[in-house]
Amino acid sequence: VTIRLNRTRTATPPFGTVLAREIPAVKALTSRKRTRRRRGATIYEVARHAGVSIATVSRVHRGRQSVAPGTRERVLAAAAALDYRASPLATSLVRGRHDAIGIVFPDLSGPYYSAVILGYEEAPASEGSSALILATHCREGQARRLVLDLADRVDGLVLMERTVEDGVVEELERQNLPIVLLARPPVGSADSVRVENRAVAVRLVAHLLEHGHRRIGFLGDPEASPDVFERWAGFVDAHREAGCRPWPSPIGCDHRETAGRLAALAALREEERPTALVCANDEVAIGALAAVRELGQSVPHDVVLTGWDDIPAARHVATPLTTVRQPMVELGRRAAQLLHERISDHRAEPRHVMLPAELVIRTSCGCGLAADKEVDR
């Protein structure tokens, strides 16, 4: 316990223009301040202007405690005159929360993600929080650091797909950071929001089986994402339920148009070629569509196929795609909602939301074909 001089801050703001001339040490700081962004006045200036203490300014500003009407008016007037806005930084520091949440994407290309952002962004904006965004771009090494770093700037985090390994999620949980997993199976006690994949895959494949198809190929890579894995699982389920033997393994390809085209080309040149192709997403399906045409054949007459995601182009291709529509905006919205709940209600038990997907039947699956033209198995 020592004794020191105390330039009472309440009485005199630390860097009054007058003081600057009097205290030498202040000089350097003052000049450093020049390069800093000029913000509105501080609470000290408002207090002085209104002839009250900073505590009172804070009280009227936050509107929680009672302040005499007259005083309140004076403070309000001073604040307005000086264009006072409380520093979010200082407020956050003392209150121990950021009033900000973050979302981490694996990538940002494609129409897919912007819809999620759209849904996600609304909640924080309307409640005075801000939304931080990060894309890891599969730069594996970086990802951990970037996410951990982001974690220190927010009150909660939404992690989409395989942005970071399970270990990192657990690490964040240990830090007590509310986490919502998006399109990713639950880890630890984090919340999760997903779109149903397996059940709708079953319906989709059942539909194809009803059309009479028995040699159905799956175009895509189940290992690439949890979503595709579930789609493949549903694909297998549907065959089992119908008592058929599924095509032994997926026809692997990454999930872009070119890869889809190439994979389809190869598959359709086989002797025992599939009569139907279930594609992991619409891009692959569009590539496959091109492949069929290159072979001088047509969809749905010679082969039928289906996509996933219902991207805008799905409706516009030569043979409109039968596909699965996912509620992407809702996905983002629910994630933000769950996160908000966890943060403000201090909810402890994890919640898991599964959103329904919608089967969109168009013509690429063979619907609308004359019955007699349907493939005979």
Partner DNA sequence: TTGTAAGCGTTATCAT
Partner DNA sequence: ATGATAACGCTTACAA
Q: How far is the CB of 83 from its own copies (least distance, A)?
A: 9
Task: Return the DSSP state at 89.
Answer: H
Q: How far is the CB of 304 from its own copies (least distance, A)?
A: 18
Which residues have CB under 8 Å from 144's CB, separation 6+?
A: 164, 165, 168
Rounded Cα distance between 154 and 145, Å, is 15
Is the Cβ of residue 128 or residue 312 nearer to DNA in the bound state? Answer: 128
Residue holding tokens 């001073």?
78
Element (H, E) at 101: strand 100-105
Which residues have CB under 8 Å from 148's CB, separation 6+?
A: 168, 171, 172
Query: CA separation (Å) from 305 to 62, 98, 133, 229, 231?
Result: 60, 48, 36, 19, 15
Q: Is 18 in the site for DNA (CB under 7 A)?
A: no
The site map against DNA for 39-78 (x = CB under 7 A) is x--xxx------xxxxxx-xx-xx-xxxxx-xxx------
Is the Cβ of residue 150 or residue 238 nearer to its own copies in the bound state? Answer: 150
Q: b or e along 151-169 (b: 16 or more beta carbons within 10 Å of the residue's beta carbon)?
A: beebbbbbbbbbbbeeebb
Binding stretches for its own copies (CB under 8 A): 1-8, 33, 35-40, 85, 87-90, 92-93, 96-98, 100, 102, 108-111, 113-115, 117-118, 121-122, 125, 128, 130-135, 137, 146, 148-150, 152-153, 155, 175-177, 286, 311-313, 315-318, 346
Residue 92: CB atoms within 10 A of its CB come to: 15
Is the Cβ of residue 332 or residue 366 nearer to its own copies in the bound state? Answer: 332
Q: Is 243 in the site for DNA (CB under 7 A)?
A: no
Q: Which does 183 bind (CB under 5 to 8 A by kind): DNA, its own copies, none?
A: none
Rounded Cα distance between 208 and 115, Å, is 29
Q: Which does 359 bind (CB under 5 to 8 A by kind): its own copies, DNA, none?
A: none
- By CB under 7 A, the residues from 118 to 157 that bind DNA are none
Is the Cβ of residue 53 or residue 92 nearer to its own copies in the bound state? Answer: 92
Instruction: Tell me whether the omega of the peptide bond preceding residue 300 falls within 30 degrees of 0, making it cis.
Output: yes
Q: Which does 194 bind (CB under 5 to 8 A by kind): its own copies, DNA, none?
A: none
Please give the size of the binding site for DNA, defined by CB under 7 A. Answer: 53
Which residues have CB under 8 Å from 128's CB, separation 6+?
A: 99
The site map against DNA for 85-124 (x = CB under 7 A) is xxx-xxx-xxxx----------------------------
Q: Which residues bind DNA (CB under 7 A)?
A: 2, 4-11, 13-15, 23-29, 32, 39, 42-44, 51-56, 58-59, 61-62, 64-68, 70-72, 84-87, 89-91, 93-96
